[in-house]
């Protein structure tokens, strides 16, 4: 232990004069002597009787709040340290990084002496305030130290010996000081070791709590990230018990998250295939699975991914399951495949009374979910009506899938409508393929040329419409579907029923809201308006050809009105486009029209049915000639199927 009288003599010598040549200073600690010199530079009064109070009650409370982490971690260890020296006249203090006392714990007697020199919470015991002392000097030298008796620069605290050590946060920054002060005679050389050990414990505890806080924060981040996923996520432990389920899984299954945590997956999901996959510890990618939910009493169909999780040693520690609701998968496929309607009622042209009545019926049908049957000749715009009805219905944000029943070979129509499983037939895709009903789930399925469907396929279609369920070809799993049907035909379905070519029960199932779309010759008064609109659209498509509006002569317009338009609106659009490309100037004249449209029209007294047949016959001949005898191209040009083309050729005696 250092000599108290020697230290007192050395201190008197130093504060009495500026010289450092006094032999009394030779045995002083260099750390102490350097600190005395700094204290003099700071102009600290060595005879001061108290330390300065920097923070009064309100300001001190704010300071303690700023140092909350330091205080909360240090208090338990301060109490443990104090209990070791209780009754021996010691005080344990905690200071901030500037030397301000935050907490003071001690016996009554030394606490009274501490109060006399203002060694209390809120007081400043930095070197700048009171000169050399364990708290302020250890902050300066950034290491633990003891200051004995008269080594203190200010006389007010020379009856104490103090041991202090800086405290560092997990980042390594000094954030405070732990100090123990007591009578000079009671201090042992191991006192500083006690402080260093306590500070080490504080720093370790802080590191643990910081790591726990970081882990908890990362867990919350991960949970938040997982909860934002559009897929259901299940995390299983080594025993295949559920240890985490995200929000989407709860939404897909309707299960209570808290009830399934800790449960074996076999009690949560009844799927023998899944149990086998987990036991086999294999990775699964995009497998379509149907499983039962025993506690909910229903089934779910999902796209399943299984990812085994391993320790560094390679030992299995669980599995991650990712489930995507097949309804949402189909909707996503539909969006990517552009299965959505583009036409609205505002895009459909026509102002005649007959046409407006048709539009009124179509708008009415959009307000309900009943099946619609669109009846009209080829080219009247049945597909546009179907899209517009969908666009104005409550299903407008869901898929709109269209399929032409007459354009697909009969043997393939079933797989297109209902889908197929893997291995259902030669050439079937691996994993199978969903049909149009599944892809349209939640939306609208437009069955164009439904009258061309075979009787066998009509039976399957009727079953789906009645049960709202689909079974893929070659499979046995039932998939519920919610689809609105809009059908279209250019045939007289009732006549087909009478001939035994169309099922009566399917006819009634489809003919809930029949809408007859008039042919163009039935509302010729709309031709001038339609012509102007179509020409303006063509001008916008061909900006290099026409910088201004396209004009039409009266003779040209009259020929358009006189023509009977067997191809309806589609034919009008095609004729105008061909004419615009052929015309040299910006005015359309009769000579720009196709030759057959410039021929004299039949007498008004001529039988209209005969006239209609003649127009159709002439259109067939011209289309086949224009396509150089290619029937497939001619059918596409006329907007009809090849089978319809063949029947019309036989009817008019044109097929060789």
Low-confidence stretches of the chain (pLDDT beneath 50): 338, 602-609
Instruction: Give the separation between CA 649 and CA 106, rounded to whole angstroms.
Output: 113
Kindly report the CATH number assigned to the domain that includes residue 466. 3.40.50.300
Same domain membership, residue 421 and residue 342? yes
Kindly report the CATH number assigned to the domain that includes residue 80. 3.30.450.40
Q: Indicate the residue among 467, 496, 516 that finishes a domain.
A: 516
Per the structure block, which two tokens stand in for 104?
Answer: 């003071």
Kindly report the CATH number assigned to the domain that includes residue 252. 3.30.450.20
Q: CA distances (Å), 327 to each of 252, 392, 434, 441, in order?
A: 10, 22, 11, 7
Alpha helix positions (H), 159-304: 191-227, 247-253, 257-260, 265-268, 272-280
Which residue from 127, 187, 191, 138 is spatially nearest to 167, judged by alpha carbons? 138
Which residue from 104, 69, 111 is spatially nearest to 89, judged by alpha carbons? 111
Same domain membership, residue 204 and residue 148? yes
Instruction: Give the separation between CA 65 and CA 76, rounded to whole angstroms.
Output: 17
215 falls within a domain: no
Which residue from 536, 556, 631 is spatially nearest to 597, judged by alpha carbons? 556
Compute how many other C-beta atoms are within 10 angstroms of the C-beta atom of residue 590: 15
Instruction: Give the separation between CA 129 and CA 142, rounded to whole angstroms.
Output: 18
Radius of gyration of the chain, Cα coordinates, nearest whole angstrom: 46
Please report the pLDDT score of residue 394 as a whole number: 93
Q: Indicate the residue among 210, 241, 260 that finishes a domain.
A: 210
223 falls within a domain: no
Q: Are 407 and 446 in contact (CB under 8 A)?
A: no
Please report the pLDDT score of residue 605 as a whole number: 44
3-state helix, strand, coil in the chain (%, to 5): 50, 20, 35
77 falls within a domain: yes
- Length reported for the chain: 656
Instruction: Give the separation between CA 370 and CA 357, rounded to whole angstroms.
Output: 19
What residue numbers bound the domain in which 401 lies?
Answer: 337-516
Please report the pLDDT score of residue 334 as a whole number: 56
Same domain membership, residue 313 and residue 454? no
Same domain membership, residue 593 and residue 558? yes
Instruction: List the strands of the sheet with 400-404, edge to edge.
Output: 400-404, 444-448, 484-489, 372-375, 513-516
217 falls within a domain: no
Look at residue 293 and give its three-state secondary structure.
strand
Instruction: Give the separation between CA 326 and CA 309, rounded to whole angstroms.
Output: 25
Instruction: Give the separation between CA 597 and CA 618, rounded to whole angstroms.
Output: 11
429 falls within a domain: yes
Query: pLDDT over 70 for what percent of the chain?
Result: 93
Instruction: Give the separation between CA 99 and CA 130, rounded to whole angstroms.
Output: 10
Per the structure block, which two tokens stand in for 437?
Answer: 């009903």
Q: What angle do CA 352, 358, 361 make, to 5 degrees?
A: 140
Same domain membership, residue 128 and residue 96? yes
Helices 642-651 and 631-638: crossing angle in degrees, nearest 10, is: 100
Same domain membership, residue 507 and residue 537? no
Query: How many domains would you assign to the chain?
Result: 4
End-to-end alpha-carbon separation of the chain, Å?
A: 128
Q: What is the DSSP letter of 241?
A: B
Q: Indicate the residue among 474, 499, 516 that finishes a domain.
A: 516
Mean predicted lDDT score pLDDT of the chain: 86
Q: Are 358 and 308 in contact (CB under 8 A)?
A: no
Q: Give tens-digit pLDDT for 182-204.
A: 988 776 768 899 999 999 999 99
Same domain membership, residue 73 and residue 103? yes
218 falls within a domain: no
Q: Give tens-digit pLDDT for 326-354.
A: 776 666 655 555 467 888 998 898 888 88
Instruction: Give the separation between CA 645 and CA 656, rounded to whole angstroms.
Output: 13
Same domain membership, residue 154 and residue 127? yes
Which residue from 332, 569, 315 is spatially nearest to 439, judged by alpha carbons? 332
Same domain membership, residue 611 and residue 582? yes
In sequence order, the 6+-apart residues with CB closer than 8 A to the CB of 313 are: none
Q: Are 398 and 444 in contact (CB under 8 A)?
A: yes
Same domain membership, residue 184 and residue 108? yes
222 falls within a domain: no
Q: What is the DSSP letter of 473?
A: B
Q: Give tens-digit pLDDT for 252-297.
A: 888 888 888 888 888 888 877 777 778 778 788 877 777 888 877 7
Q: CA distances (Å), 102 to each of 65, 542, 618, in order?
A: 10, 82, 104
**Phi, psi (rounded to 5 degrees) for 346:** -70, -20
Please report the pLDDT score of residue 305 as a whole number: 87
Query: Which helix (H) or strand (E) segment is 68 a member of?
Result: helix 68-85
Same domain membership, residue 538 and residue 492? no
550 falls within a domain: yes
Please report the pLDDT score of residue 603 as a whole number: 42
Q: Are strands 419-420 and 587-588 parallel, antiparallel or unpaired?
A: unpaired
Kindly report the CATH number assigned to the domain that includes residue 544. 1.10.8.60
Same domain membership, residue 369 and residue 264? no
């Amino acid at each position: 232990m250092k000599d108290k009288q020697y230290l007192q003599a050395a201190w008197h010598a130093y504060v009495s004069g500026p010289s450092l040549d006094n032999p009394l200073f030779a045995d002083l600690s260099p750390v102490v002597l350097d600190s005395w010199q700094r204290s003099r530079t700071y102009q600290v009064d060595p005879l001061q009787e108290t330390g300065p109070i920097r923070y009064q009650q309100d300001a001190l409370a704010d300071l303690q709040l700023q140092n909350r982490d330091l205080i909360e971690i240090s208090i338990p260890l301060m109490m443990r340290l104090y209990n070791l020296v209780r009754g021996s006249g010691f005080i344990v203090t905690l200071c901030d990084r500037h030397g301000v006392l935050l907490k003071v714990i001690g016996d009554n007697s030394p606490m009274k002496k501490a109060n006399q020199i203002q060694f209390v919470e809120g007081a400043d015991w930095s070197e700048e305030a009171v000169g050399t002392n364990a708290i302020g000097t250890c902050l300066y030298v950034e290491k633990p130290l003891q200051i004995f008796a008269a080594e203190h620069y200010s006389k007010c605290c020379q009856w104490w010996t103090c041991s202090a050590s800086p405290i560092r946060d997990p980042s390594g920054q000094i954030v405070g000081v732990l100090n123990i002060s007591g009578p000079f005679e009671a201090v042992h050389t191991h006192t500083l070791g006690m402080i260093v050990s306590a500070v080490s414990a504080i720093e370790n505890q802080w590191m643990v709590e910081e790591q726990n806080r970081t882990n908890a924060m990362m867990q919350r981040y991960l949970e938040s990230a997982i909860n934002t996923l559009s897929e259901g996520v299940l995390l299983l432990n080594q025993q295949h018990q559920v240890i985490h389920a995200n929000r989407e899984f709860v939404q897909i299954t309707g299960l209570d998250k808290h009830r399934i945590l800790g449960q074996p997956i076999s009690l949560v999901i009844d799927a023998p295939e899944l149990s086998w996959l987990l036991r086999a510890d294999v990775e699964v990618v995009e497998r379509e699975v149907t499983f039962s939910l025993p506690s909910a009493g229903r089934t779910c169909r999902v796209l399943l991914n299984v990812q085994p999780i391993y320790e560094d040693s390679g030992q299995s520690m669980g599995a991650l399951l990712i489930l995507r609701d097949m309804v949402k998968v189909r909707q996503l496929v539909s969006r990517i495949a552009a299965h959505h309607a583009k036409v609205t009622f505002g895009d459909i042209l026509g102002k005649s009374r007959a046409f407006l009545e048709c539009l009124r019926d179509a708008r009415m049908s959009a307000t309900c979910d009943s099946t619609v049957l669109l009846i009209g000749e080829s080219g009247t715009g049945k597909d546009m009506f179907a899209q517009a009805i969908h666009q104005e219905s409550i299903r407008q944000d869901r898929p709109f899938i269209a399929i032409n029943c007459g354009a697909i070979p009969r043997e393939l129509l079933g797989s297109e409508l209902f889908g197929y499983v893997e291995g259902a037939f030669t050439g079937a895709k691996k994993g199978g393929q969903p049909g149009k009903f599944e892809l349209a789930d939640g939306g609208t399925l437009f069955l164009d040329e439904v009258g061309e469907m075979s009787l066998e396929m009509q039976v399957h279609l009727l079953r789906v419409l009645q049960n709202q369920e689909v079974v893929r070809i070659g499979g046995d799993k039932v998939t519920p579907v919610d689809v609105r049907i809009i059908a279209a035909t250019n045939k007289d379905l009732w006549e087909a029923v009478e001939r035994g070519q169309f099922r009566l029960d399917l006819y009634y199932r489809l003919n809930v809201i029949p809408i007859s779309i008039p042919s163009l010759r039935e509302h010729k008064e709309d031709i001038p308006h339609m012509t102007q609109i179509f020409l303006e659209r063509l001008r916008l498509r061909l900006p290099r050809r026409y910088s201004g509006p396209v004009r039409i002569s009266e003779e040209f317009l009259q020929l358009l009105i006189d023509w009977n338009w067997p191809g309806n609106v589609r034919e009008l659009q095609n004729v105008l486009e061909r004419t615009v490309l052929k015309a040299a100037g910006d005015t359309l004249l009769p000579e720009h029209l196709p030759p057959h449209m410039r021929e004299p029209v039949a007498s008004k007294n001529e039988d209209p049915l005969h006239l209609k047949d003649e127009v159709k016959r002439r259109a067939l001949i011209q289309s086949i000639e224009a396509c150089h005898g290619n029937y497939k191209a001619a059918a596409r040009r006329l907007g009809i199927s090849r089978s319809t083309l063949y029947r019309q050729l036989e009817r008019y005696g044109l097929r060789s």
